[in-house]
Amino acid sequence: MAAGSARYVRYILIAFFVLAVFYFVSDSSDAVTRLTPATGNNGADSKSATGAGDHKGHEAAQAKTSKPKTSDNVDPKQFPLAMSPNDPGFNDLAGIAEGPRMNATFVTLARNGDVWEIAKSIRQVEDRFNRRYNYDWVFLNDKPFDETFKKVTTSLVSGKTHYGLIPEEHWSFPPHIDQEKAKKVREDMAAKKIIYGDSISYRHMCRFESGFFFRQKLMLNYDYYWRVEPSIKLFCDIHYDPFRFMHENNKKYSFVLSLYEYIETIPTLWDSVKKFAKNHPEHIADGNSMGFLSDDGGDTYNKCHFWSNFEIGSLRWLRSKAYLDYFESLDQDGGFFYERWGDAPVHSIAAGLMLPKEQIHFFNDIAYFHVPFTHCPTGEKYKLDRKCHCEPKENFDWKSYSCTSRYYEINNLEKPEGWEAESH
Ligand SMILES: *[C@@H]1O[C@H](CO)[C@@H](O)[C@H](O)[C@H]1NC(C)=O
């Protein structure tokens, strides 16, 4: 009797176990099928590339190589950009984004010691955007990158990573610079406590970003770049490909923050620009953004510039004769060393004078922080739709030290509702 009931108990336990296993298996296969539509997202492209059936959606999504990489093989019209919540696909942020890819890369100038700060930036860029697009990332340094830097960054970037060593002649004093004069300037600026005023490497950096990053061997492989610096933050989901936006709308330069430059660092920059404009009238665009840069039709510079630690731009434009003539002219005047010209005003003035104003874009939907300023788009619904986590009062756009209002004015754009409340 005791043996018999023990057997029943055993049967019941076994039956229960079998049922439990069955339930578990069917439930998890359910989870797999639920994943499929999101990740596999069944575009004609992924099917034809992999022949993947429904149940292979997951693998198809992970096989980056099965996705179209450039615009050559897909019709962009079949994959409209999801710019706002009513556009198809706006809420589809799972898996690899379908559609064309641009000939584009992220680019970062960094030192080995920046590895953990750039790691934070990469993580934000990947989480908010690139995990779905897998664009490449180029890292540039005036010293060779070490193994830790390469390992950590490669593990975080979903696209391919490339590491470039900057040639000496792009990171040194050009021969025409009078070393004594340059030294004297650094001493004077140090005495006046001008930020980075006494730094040589900061000057090499500004000159490099102004005239050489886009000509590095690795960068010659691309048409568009997105500059990322260590320790930045992105606060909103990016629902479409900004590179594609640039390309399809013929934009050449873009920004998220703008402000006034510290005049002590650029006292003669505008004189140098005027000299260039006089020598090269053919490079000055009709319908440019002079109104952003000057309040008196070009006589004086109002110091407004786009903050260049964030940029998405056209490398072809930077490599154009117009831009190279401009850089060469400024470089000959020596202000990178005899003053402390920043790449932000140098790029901004170039974009402002040599591009029609429609070719400069304000990426309102890319919410961004670089110490000490934040671009946090105005409007509660706008931010909720994009899952933003920035604090509205931190938004710099409409504060008196920002030039973004001026950009809106010269482009006849209407400021978003609620801007006044964020203006002080
Ligand atoms: C990408 O751009 C570079 C520079 O313009 C060009 O040499 C290269 O052929 C392009 N690649 C593709 C796939 O279009």
Instruction: Quote the CA–CA distance of 360 and 253 in Å, as a whole number.
Output: 5
Q: Which of 209, 261, 311, 422 is catalytic?
A: 311
Tokens of 321: 């004769």
Q: Three-state SS for 233?
A: strand
CA of 155 to the centre of ligand 1 (A): 26
Instruction: Quote the CA–CA distance of 44 and 197 in Å, as a whole number.
Output: 56
Q: Is 261 a catalytic residue?
A: no
pLDDT digits (tens, 9 = 90+) for 230-247: 999 999 999 999 999 999
Task: Tell me the residue length of the chain.
Answer: 424
Inform me whether the pLDDT recorded for 276 exceeds 80. Answer: yes
For the Cβ of 250 lying below 6 angstroms from any atom of ligand 1, the answer is no
Locate the ligand 1 atom nearest the alpha carbon of residue 103 and give its number: 1
Q: Three-state SS for 160?
A: coil
Cα-flanking dihedrals φ and ψ of residue 138, to 5°?
-105, 130
Return the percentage of the chain with pLDDT > 90, whole number. 81
Locate the ligand 1 atom nearest the alpha carbon of residue 69 and give its number: 13
Tokens of 130: 């690139």
For the Cβ of 222 lying below 6 angstroms from any atom of ligand 1, the answer is yes
pTM of the predicted structure, to 2 decimals: 0.84
| Pocket probe mutation, ligand 1, options 71, 72, 103, max atoms within 8 Å of Cβ | 103
pLDDT of residue 47: 30
Instruction: Quote the CA–CA distance of 285 and 270 in Å, as a whole number.
Output: 17
Q: What is the mean pLDDT of residues 177-181?
A: 98
Inform me whether the pLDDT recorded for 164 exceeds 90. Answer: yes
For the Cβ of 161 lying below 6 angstroms from any atom of ligand 1, the answer is no
pLDDT digits (tens, 9 = 90+) for 121-153: 999 999 999 999 999 999 999 999 999 999 999
- Asked if residues 96 and 132 have their Cβ atoms less than 8 Å apart, the reply is yes
